[in-house]
Amino acid sequence: MDIDVIVADISQNWPLYTAIPFIAALIGYVTKSVAIEMMFRPIEWKGIKGTFLGWQGVVPQHGGRMAAIATDLLTQNLLDIKDVFARIDPDRITEEIEQPLLRTVDDVAREVLTENHPRVWERLPTVAQDLVIKQIQAQTPQLVRQLMLEMRENVDDFLDVKEMTVRRLTSDRKLLVKLIRETSRPEMAFIARSGIYFGFTLGIVQAFVWAVTKNPLVMPVFGAAVGLFTDWLAIKLIFVPREPVHLTRKLYFQGKFQRRKAEVAQQYGEIIARDVLTVPNLMDSILRGPRSDRLMAMISRVVADAIDEQAGNARPLVTATLGTKRIEEMKRSAADKAIARVPETVQHAEGYLTEAMAVAHLVEDRMHKLTPVEYEGLLRPAFRQDEWKLVVVGGLIGGIVGELQVILMLH
């Protein structure tokens, strides 16, 4: 096509040519925004039942795999549960729960004695009953210290923190989405903004090619290219280069996520401490998790030893009066009731435990020490497996909008 004809066409239709880069920038922004939302939404699959026509957010769809990856990073690189429990002072926690503990011991002891030997217990004067209870209460703080020391030394025997974390993240997909989305919000915004910059630049080229060729395929092809290329490039620029590439002494280039390591470490630690490794969650896993039987066995042993110690020199008389079978029933009953009251009792020390364990600080400190590759593993799995889907969707949207541009240019 003659250059004079091209110039005349551009002069005559300059508003349309001027609009092309801006439309391309809009394509870039829209495709990125849609791709981002498709990563996280919807939480549940939405579509036509019985067909493949539908969508579920990439993160919630692969929640189990992503939860396992996040948990491996947490348990292998960021947190040793022994370090967490080592911060708990047995004397301090005993002090924190002293009053509710004494009330619990009072209730449990009276219930056990009433249930297992009501005649003897009811015939005792109130003063004598109170004396028995006080003797049991006097020994209780030592039992708590003993339990805490054993748990600190052998916490892995009682708590499967990996199982607890995976279960927590997979049962609450919103929490998994929150964990990834909150720590990557600036990166998501960067992807959306990059569509504007890349799209505008390619739009200028697109306008020139249209002026030269007037080929109807130019717009949809360029639109698809804008969507495909800018989606792919934006995701890559989040993670690479991993190490700073210095252009000058002060000016350097580095993946956006890598540059924000300190900020992400703080955010990630806070979310883990606030929503995952909380005192209630830990207690629930210890009492009801796959290794809970070991804690129950330990508590039963400690309670049984305490009852035997209380019997002391009178054990032969107690055995003759109650019988061995009845004594064993008392031990089991006391242990079961004590275990049932643990969450209620420990609740009074939740503030101290949260402060003492300092989960957020531990996670943040360990994250600073991760290598760039290890740190990238915090967010990269959210993109890797279905990254191509997001790029293809960006290309399809770009192609459709490009076809609309053709209609606009021809009319």
pLDDT digits (tens, 9 = 90+) for 213-272: 777 777 777 777 776 777 777 777 788 888 888 888 778 888 888 888 888 888 888 888
Going by pLDDT thresholds of 50, 70 and 90, the confidence category of residue 72 is confident
Weakest mean pLDDT among 180-184, 253-257, 265-269, 333-337: 333-337
Q: Which residue has the tokens 């020199």?
A: 313
Q: Is the pLDDT of residue 35 over 70?
A: yes
Looking at residue 317, what is its pLDDT?
43
Q: How far is CA 163 from the centre of its chain?
A: 13
Q: How far is CA 313 from the centre of its chain?
A: 54
Q: Is the pLDDT of residue 311 over 60?
A: no
- DSSP3 helix / strand / coil % (the chain, rounded to 5): 80, 0, 15
* Average pLDDT, integer, range 175-180: 84
Q: How far is CA 362 from the centre of its chain?
A: 15
Looking at residue 176, what is its pLDDT?
83
Q: Where are the alpha helices (DSSP H) in 214-314?
A: 218-239, 256-259, 261-271, 279-288, 292-311
Looking at residue 401, what is its pLDDT?
65
Looking at residue 310, what is its pLDDT?
59
CA–CA separation, 105 and 109 (whole Å)? 6
Looking at residue 77, what is its pLDDT?
81
Looking at residue 410, what is its pLDDT?
60
State how far the alpha carbon of 319 is from the alpha carbons of 129, 323, 341, in Å: 19, 5, 28
Going by pLDDT thresholds of 50, 70 and 90, the confidence category of residue 144 is confident
State how far the alpha carbon of 97 is from the alpha carbons of 105, 144, 344, 346, in Å: 12, 10, 10, 7
Looking at residue 326, what is its pLDDT?
65
Looking at residue 91, what is its pLDDT?
86
Q: Is the pLDDT of residue 158 over 50?
A: yes
Nearest to 381 by CA among 1, 67, 83, 136: 67
Weakest mean pLDDT among 129-138, 285-294, 394-403: 394-403
Residue 379, phi then psi, degrees to nearest 5: -115, -30
Percent of the chain with pLDDT over 70: 84
CA–CA separation, 29 and 35 (whole Å)? 10
Looking at residue 313, what is its pLDDT?
44
Q: Is the pLDDT of residue 407 over 70?
A: no
Beta-ladder partners of 55: 46
* Average pLDDT, integer, range 293-313: 70
* Average pLDDT, integer, range 151-157: 84
Q: In sequence order, what are the residues at sequence separation of 6 or more whose Cβ sits closer than 8 angstroms to the Cβ of residue 129?
A: 110, 121
Q: How far is CA 180 from the centre of its chain?
A: 8
Going by pLDDT thresholds of 50, 70 and 90, the confidence category of residue 119 is low
Q: Is the pLDDT of residue 150 over 60?
A: yes
**What torsion do the CA atoms of 20, 23, 29, 34 make, to the nearest 10 degrees?**
-130
How does the average pLDDT of the chain come out, rounded? 79
Q: In sequence order, what are the residues at sequence separation of 6 or more whose Cβ sits closer than 8 angstroms to the Cβ of residue 295?
A: 151, 158, 286, 287
Weakest mean pLDDT among 103-107, 237-241, 294-298, 400-404: 400-404
State how far the alpha carbon of 127 is from the alpha carbons of 142, 306, 311, 315, 333, in Å: 24, 22, 19, 22, 24
Looking at residue 312, what is its pLDDT?
53
Looking at residue 221, what is its pLDDT?
78
Looking at residue 43, what is its pLDDT?
85
Looking at residue 314, what is its pLDDT?
45
* Average pLDDT, integer, range 357-364: 89
State how far the alpha carbon of 1 is from the alpha carbons of 6, 110, 405, 407, in Å: 7, 102, 22, 22
